[in-house]
Amino acid sequence: MSHSDNTNLSQWNLEAVPKSAQCKLEFPLGETEVYTCTEVPDSSMYLVQKAKFMVTKNLSLDKVVSDLDMAADLIYLAYNATAGFAVTASVSKRQFDLASLCDKSYIAMNAFQQNCTNVLSLITEAFSQILDLHENQALRVFQSCAEYASQMSSDCDSLATSFGSLKDDIVSDVRTVEEQISKEEELIASLTDTIDSVDANLAQQKQIRNQLKTTIGHLQQAIEDETARQETESNREFAAAIVKVAANAISAGLGGFSEGISDTSNERGNSKKDGANTGIPDPKNTVSQHEKSKTTTSSTNTPTKTENPQIAEAKKDVDAKQNIVIQQKTVVNMASQRVKADQEVVNSMTNDAEKRFAQETLDDDEKRLKAEQDRLKQVQGELSKAEDKLKSLQASEEHTTGDTTGDKDSGKGQDALPNSTLTDVRIALIGQKRQDEALEQEAIEKIGVLNGQLAVAHEQESLAHSAVIALQIAIWAMVRIFNALQSAKMFWDSMSKYCEGLGSNQIGRIVAADMKIPETVRTTVYHSVTFLRPAIWCVVQWKALENVCSEYKLAAEGVSSKVNMNISNTLSTGEAMAALPRLQADMQGKLDEQAKAAAKYDTELSILQHRLEQGVRLPVSASA
């Protein structure tokens, strides 16, 4: 009786060995391999390797295993890259989920491997019973093995679904990280505007200070000139007084002589009075040249009405302080948003160590917020003072203008300011210099404050840039985690299909059909290549599955240990940011090595697949 051969073993040179339950596989170079359905084949044999490719649907088991191992490192990198952000809690959960899946994979593969070992023992014994024409017991064994395979297929489906769910969670985390990057970029843009504004105010304050320094220098020179001029005037008055005293003394000594001259003059011209036209000046009616000079000078230097520069400067100061208040409110708002985000991170944490590190970040940002709020109160107070000063100057200007007008009206007809004007000018210059020095000191303080704001803004901008880079690294890692999990899901899907095929119990249906043949004929049928091919292939498939389970089990155990070790080595936010460049460099090196290995494997895989298709015996190294 002929049977359909779904394994395509007929295309190979697999021939039955006469008077035995063995088949001989011949290779083009003359080498041979002997198979039998009553013994388990060696793992390196040709048909076992062929079946192993079918288990993974031509996926490289080495690649699947290395991807899973790489996922453990990548998810640790992603966790550290997102440290300090709300998404950290989600990424931390992904670590636990991956460790849990690896544990489940290990348990499943360990059970599968034991099942395969038991099945191989059972089916080789069952084929021995079939050759002895005890088919009923063999059929029960085949049915039990099919049930094992169906259950394994169901378990594989469950693991494939779990890896798929974890893959979808990673995609969700990527979206969250992308949103956080957008927020950080908005913060950077806002900080850039703040820095530009502070730079402009800083330049303005420096310009004001430079102008005040120049004005103070001019005022100092004017004070020195006025002091020298007043000293000169004092010396002249002193000399004039000396001359007057001497003249009075001479006049007293020549009194009699003067009287005689007066009597003679009276007799000669009684019409001349009070010394008129005599050429002798009358001291009572004479104004000294010094007093005339003072009068002329005072009249010439009488100030004219101009715009008060102090009021103009005060207006500029008010405008500048209003800008600083607006900018500081923006800084406070940003700091408040950061504190709110930190609080969300702390609330979402379940791990004590992670929560402690997140709380440290929250405490630091709350301190920064308090400092910025205090700074806002300070600049608002400075603005209030500046506005009060402006109002005071404006009120004083109005009062001074009224007084000056009254003085002008009451002083019409007078020649000049009083003699005290010279001293008053010097006092006014000194007062103006002191005011300008106070304004310069105020500008210096503003410059210090603005420099502090500028440093804070640059620090926050640097942190935001670092955050963007770290989050981009997280996305880079998550994309590769997605690929690794996709590979794992495909592997478990393939395992499920493979076990489903074993669960179809094709060999049981063949035996059940052959049992209808008379016993004298069945013995010949069971020793023919037509029966031995599917029987041998059944044993080979279970052996290949046993090998795959053994290899994947060890890998899953190693990945689970690595993930748990990474979880126990959780870093603080600061430590994570510091370690991030090294972690990424190490990860990139591993990925580069994996890429080279994958390229080499692709070449070898093509050669191996070609040999398998052509029925060429595999090299021992390739089989291993």
With b meaning 16 or more CB within 10 Å and e meaning fewer, what string describes 528-543?
eebbbbbbbbbbbbbb
User: Tell me, what's the pLDDT at 607?
Assistant: 65
Instruction: Read off the pLDDT of residues 36-45 as tens digits, 9 standing for 90 and up.
Output: 999 999 998 9
Dump pLDDT digits (tens) for 352-376. Answer: 666 776 787 788 889 889 988 998 8
Q: What is the band of 539 on the pLDDT scale with cuts at 50, 70, 90?
A: very high
Distance of CA 372 to the CA centre of its chain: 21
What is the rounded distance in angstroms from the CA atom of residue 383 to the CA atom of residue 321? 5
User: What per-residue confidence (pLDDT) applies to 246?
Assistant: 60
pLDDT at 353: 61
Average pLDDT over residues 255-274: 46
Task: Give the confidence band of 241 by pLDDT, cuts at 50, 70, 90.
Answer: low
Question: How does residue 65 score in pLDDT terms, banded at 50, 70 and 90?
Answer: confident
pLDDT at 612: 53
* Whether pLDDT at 351 is above 80: no
CA–CA gap between residue 613 and residue 281 (Å, rounded): 145
Instruction: List C-alpha distances in Å: 146 to 115, 505, 514, 612.
Output: 11, 6, 19, 27
Least confident of 196-200, 382-386, 611-615: 611-615
Kindly state the percentage of the chain with pLDDT values over 90. Answer: 16
3-state secondary structure of 18: coil
pLDDT tops 50 at residue 305: no
Q: What's the confidence (pLDDT) of residue 297? A: 39
Write down the mean pLDDT value for the chain. 77
Mean pLDDT of 139-164: 92
Highest mean pLDDT pick, 10-24, 302-316, 465-479, 588-602: 465-479
Range from 11-25, 400-414, 596-610 that averages highest in pLDDT: 11-25
Give the rounded percent of residues in the chain with a pLDDT score beyond 70.
Answer: 75
- Side chain identity at 268, as an amino acid letter? R
Mean pLDDT of 494-513: 89
Looking at residues 189-199, what average pLDDT do you find? Answer: 87
Confidence of residue 613 (pLDDT cuts 50, 70, 90): low
The contacts of residue 244 (CB under 8 Å, 6+ apart) are none
C-alpha 454/C-alpha 445 separation (Å) is 14
Of 514, 554, 389, the closest CA to residue 136 belongs to 514
In the three-class reduction of DSSP (H, G, I as helix; E, B as strand; rest coil), residue 108 is classed as helix
pLDDT of residue 563 exceeding 60:
yes
Tell which wins on pLDDT, 246 or 65: 65
**pTM (two decimals):** 0.55
pLDDT (average), residues 64-73: 85
d(CA 536, CA 545): 14
Q: Is the pLDDT assigned to residue 618 strictly greater than 60?
A: no
Confidence class for position 66, pLDDT limits 50, 70, 90: confident
Of the pLDDT bands very low, low, confident and very high (cuts 50, 70, 90), residue 526 is: confident
CA-based nearest residue to 45, from 552, 58, 36: 36
The answer, yes or no, to whether residue 490 has pLDDT greater than 60, is yes
Token pair in block for residue 215: 């004005």
pLDDT grade for 128, boundaries at 50, 70 and 90: very high
Q: What is the pLDDT of residue 271?
A: 42
Query: Is a pLDDT exceeding 60 seen at residue 418?
Result: no
Segment 78-100, tens digit of pLDDT = 888 888 888 888 988 998 999 99
Which is more confidently placed, 429 or 306?
Answer: 429
Q: Which one is predicted more confidently, 358 or 254?
A: 358
Q: Mean of the pLDDT values across residues 202-226?
A: 82
Q: Is residue 154 scored above 90 in pLDDT?
A: yes
